[in-house]
Amino acid sequence: MKKDVTTEEKIKEAARHVFMAKGFAGCSSREISKAAGMNVALVNYYFRSKSQLFKIIFETAMEDFVTSMMTVFSSDQSIENKMRIFIDREFEFLSKHPELPVFIITEMNREEGCSIDHACFFEKIAASGIFNECAQAQAEGKMRKINILSLTLLIMSNCQYPIMAKNLMQGIHGISDEDYTSNLLLHKQNVTEMLVNYLFPINSKTTK
């Protein structure tokens, strides 16, 4: 008899939650197994070790993250519209996975990296051709000529930080959860307008 939710999936789901919330070092194997409603030995029976399990969770998280970006990059849109859509999707995606940016950044900074190969994910982004597309748009005078790192930073900063720093911002301004969420929508519009105005100074008024 096959169960509707297999044990392996139960473990992964629990591990995803716990790892995201507390990080690799911030939780124990027993905490994960308890969250999955089972014995400690069982999670090692399926995943051999805590590191191995973490590796899988991190890699699928990264995969989701990159995939979410990729669908926009490979769409049939003008570069400016791609940017608008990207920002929109990024805010939406990150609202559903708020811990993801801190999780990824923390893992990238960790010395003992569970022997995860980060490179393969970055290669996918480069392989999407988005960087070349930007360079071409810049050459054609459609986009402001700033280097590609700065461009990446501008977009990522303004999309990811507002999600990461939620608690910090709520503390500074004394805002409730609901207020923050609604303010985030306004902020998304501000960010979009600011970035488009800055990066596409010429045709930013003509295009919707």
Partner DNA sequence: ATTTGTTTTAAACAAGTGTTTAAAATAGTT
Partner DNA sequence: AACTATTTTAAACACTTGTTTAAAACAAAT
Residues that bind DNA (CB under 7 A): 1-2, 7, 27-31, 38-42, 44-45, 48-51
- Which residues, 11 to 50, sit near a copy of itself by CB under 8 A? 21-23, 25-26
Quick one: what does residue 141 bind among DNA, a copy of itself, none, with the CB cut-off 5 to 8 Å set by partner type?
A: none
Quick one: what does residue 51 bind among a copy of itself, DNA, none, with the CB cut-off 5 to 8 Å set by partner type?
A: DNA
Cβ–Cβ < 8 Å for 145, 138: yes
Exposure pattern of 107-140 as b/e (b: 16+ CB <10 Å)?
beeeeebbebeeeebeebeeebebeeebeebbee
Quick one: what does residue 39 bind among a copy of itself, DNA, none, with the CB cut-off 5 to 8 Å set by partner type?
A: DNA
- Shortest distance in whole angstroms from residue 142 CB to a copy of itself: 18
Crossing angle (nearest 10°) for helices 7-22 and 40-47: 100
Question: Of 2-10, 11-19, 84-92, 174-182, which segment contacts a copy of itself by CB under 8 A?
Answer: 174-182
Could you say whether residue 70 binds a copy of itself (CB under 8 A)? no
Q: Compute the residue count for the chain.
A: 208
DSSP state letter for 93: H
DSSP state letter for 144: -
Alpha carbons 154 and 195: distance in angstroms, whole number: 8
Quick one: what does residue 22 bind among a copy of itself, DNA, none, with the CB cut-off 5 to 8 Å set by partner type?
A: a copy of itself
- Shortest distance in whole angstroms from residue 152 CB to a copy of itself: 7
Crossing angle (nearest 10°) for helices 50-73 and 119-127: 10
- Contacts with a copy of itself by CB under 8 A: the residue count is 53
> Pattern of binders to a copy of itself over 188-207, x per CB under 8 A?
--xx-xxx-xx---------
Tell me whether residue 37 or residue 171 sits nearer to a copy of itself (CB atom). Answer: 171
Q: Among the residues of 23-147, which ranges form H helices?
A: 29-35, 40-47, 50-73, 79-96, 100-109, 119-127, 130-139
DSSP state letter for 189: H
Residues forming the site for a copy of itself (CB under 8 A): 21-23, 25-26, 99, 102, 104-106, 108-110, 118-119, 122, 125-126, 146-150, 152-154, 156-158, 160-162, 164-165, 167-169, 171-175, 180, 183, 186-187, 190-191, 193-195, 197-198
